[in-house]
Structure 1
Amino acid sequence: MKVYISADMEGITGLVDAEDVQPPGRDYERGRALMTEDVNAAVRGAYAAGATYVLVNDAHGPMRNLLPDLLDPRALLIKGRPKPMGMIEGLTPDFDAVVCIGFHSRAGTLGVLSHSFMGHEIEDIWLDDRPCGEIGLLHATATSYGVPLAALTGDNTACIEATQWDPAIHTYPVKQAKDRFAAQLVPVADSRSGIEQTIRTALTTLPTGPAPAPAAAEGNHPGPSKPVHQLTVRWQSASVASHLEAVPGVHKTDDRTVTTEGEMPHLYRLFNLYLRVATAVTSNPPYC
């Protein structure tokens, strides 16, 4: 069994603040160790379930967070950026399952460190007119490969968001959100044990059929899933939308919103291009 792990940081055990997850935050180095141990718990769960190959992708921020010398040696690691497929670099249809560790809820939710990919730069994302964040886009792309998103860990709001995309996803909340930068934490030892057991259970109860298609928005009944999806992104800056309009197939619907259509793997890679353009366009310091 081949298992793919995408590791984010905001939903890691014990972390609640930007100082925990962004260099050079005062607790960032400690956060890196906590992140690595959450991933190790997932790796242990995967091998306990019968995995023969585990690939871990460091999917947070600079994508240089996981500590290779502390990572379970049975796991291979993708580290650094840029990566054409970003948070799912290395995922292919020959994997049996995807596991998400340390994920957070989308922008606009009252979850711990909630946002969608670029903090305040992205106000909203819609996939086929449904509000979407990092979890939804990853789920839809994995589904397009025929690989089920088997399990996810993070705060309670991230876990709820995952099961809204697919009720079959096994989740483990490592903290309960009290506000965007506050949470009630599961004790570290209990959290690691819970992550390991959740991943083991998820992988030993994998569905035998193809991965389910992304759930339709409430009240929308499109029938069988279609290979073409619509991705819409509303930016904080009109400048980003203006630059992205130069990309073939991308259209502005208003000064700050762009939309395009395509198959999911292509849309996910295109969205990562959006992020690089937005980073370049918004890199100037505030003017006042």
Structure 2
Amino acid sequence: MKVYISVDMEGISGVATYDQIIRGGSGYPRAQALMTAETNAAVEGAFEGGATEVLVNDSHGTMNNLLHEDLDPRARVIFGTPTAFCMAEGLTSDFDVAFYIGYHAPAGVEGLLAHSFSGLFTSFKLNGEIASEASINALFAATRGVPVGLVTGDDVICDIAEREFPGVLTVPVKVAHGFQAANSLSPTFARAAIRKSARAAVQGVEKTRLLPVPDRLRLEIGFQNPLAAELLEAVPGVSRVSNMVIAREVETTEDLLGMVGTTYELAAVAAKTMFLRESLR
């Protein structure tokens, strides 16, 4: 029984503010410790449930956030960026189930630190509907034959997972009280709940089902400034929907994640360029 774990930071209990999720922020070291501890809870639960192998993908920001020396030594870890498949890097058809730990509300809805893949994206839609990171990654997992068995994070993403992912277990560790405010479980209680649910997800993996993959995959992304849209317009297949929104239709989930990664990088270039222009005025 092989378990794949993608772990983000915004959906970790005790995390709610920008200074916690950005490297260099005063709260970031504490958030790293909280993220590592919840990852361990998922790993421990997976092994208790019968897992023989666990792979963890560090899926937040620079993707080098977990404190490796404090991680459960039975798990292997993928970290660093960029990678071909971003938050789904390392997920292959060899795995039996995927866990999404510390996930969060998507761009376009009210929720704690809500965004989809980048804070530079103001909107993120697939086939005309608001899409979460969990949803996109679950589509990729489905093409590998891997169901999503567990999602933990804020109340918004857990509600989405329960609606979209057949047979999934969820652990809502906090409720959004604003973009940077939350009512959170204590980290100790959250870890116990995650460990229990991870064990149950492995033992009940036969109850999960793959997320249906649509024949059509049309990605639409909005930006904070028009330069990002201008840069992306040079990518083959990209069309300009409006001044600050681009769209592209792709054939596979591999191309979908590849487009997400390309868009992320070019949006960052655009943001830096705009900052330099303003600083030179």
TM-score (norm: length of structure 1): 0.91
State the shift of 1:89 in Å: 0.9
- 5+ residue gaps, structure 2: none
Q: Which has the higher helix share?
A: 2
State the shift of 1:208 in Å: 6.4
TM-score (norm: length of structure 2): 0.93
| C-alpha distance in 2 between matches for 1:174 and 1:68 | 23
Query: Tell me, what secondary structure is at the counterpart of 1:138?
Result: helix
| C-alpha distance in 1 between matches for 2:268 and 2:84 | 15
Give the number of aligned pairs.
Answer: 276
> 1:271 corresponds to which residue?
260
Q: Does the 8 Å CA contact 2:228/2:266 hold for their aligned counterparts? A: yes
> 1:251 corresponds to which residue?
239
Amino acid at match of 2:93: P
> 1:280 corresponds to which residue?
269
State the shift of 1:41 in Å: 0.1
Q: Which moved more, 1:164-173 or 1:148-157?
A: 164-173
How do 1:198-209 residues align onto structure 2 when only pairs under 5 Å count? 198-207=197-206
1:94 paired with 2:94, answer yes
State the shift of 1:100 in Å: 0.6
State the shift of 1:77 in Å: 0.6
State the shift of 1:144 in Å: 2.0
How do 1:1-288 residues align onto structure 2 when only pairs under 5 Å count? 1-119=1-119, 121-207=120-206, 211-213=210-212, 225-226=214-215, 228-261=216-249, 262-284=251-273, 285=275, 287=278
- 5+ residue gaps, structure 1: 215-224
Where in structure 1 do 4 or more consecutive aligned residues deviate above 2 Å?
Answer: 207-210
State the shift of 1:212 in Å: 3.1
Q: Does the 8 Å CA contact 2:165/2:209 hold for their aligned counterparts? A: no
| C-alpha distance in 2 between matches for 1:124 and 1:133 | 10
| C-alpha distance in 2 between matches for 1:190 and 1:100 | 18
Instruction: Report the RMSD for the aligned CA atoms in angstroms.
Output: 1.6
Query: Tell me, what secondary structure is at the counterpart of 2:50?
Result: coil
State the shift of 1:184 in Å: 1.3
For residues 188-217 of structure 1, the C-alpha deviation after alignment (integer angstroms, 9 at most, x for no partner) is: 221110000111111211136861305xxx
Query: Tell me, what secondary structure is at the counterpart of 1:107?
Result: coil
Give the % identical residues: 37
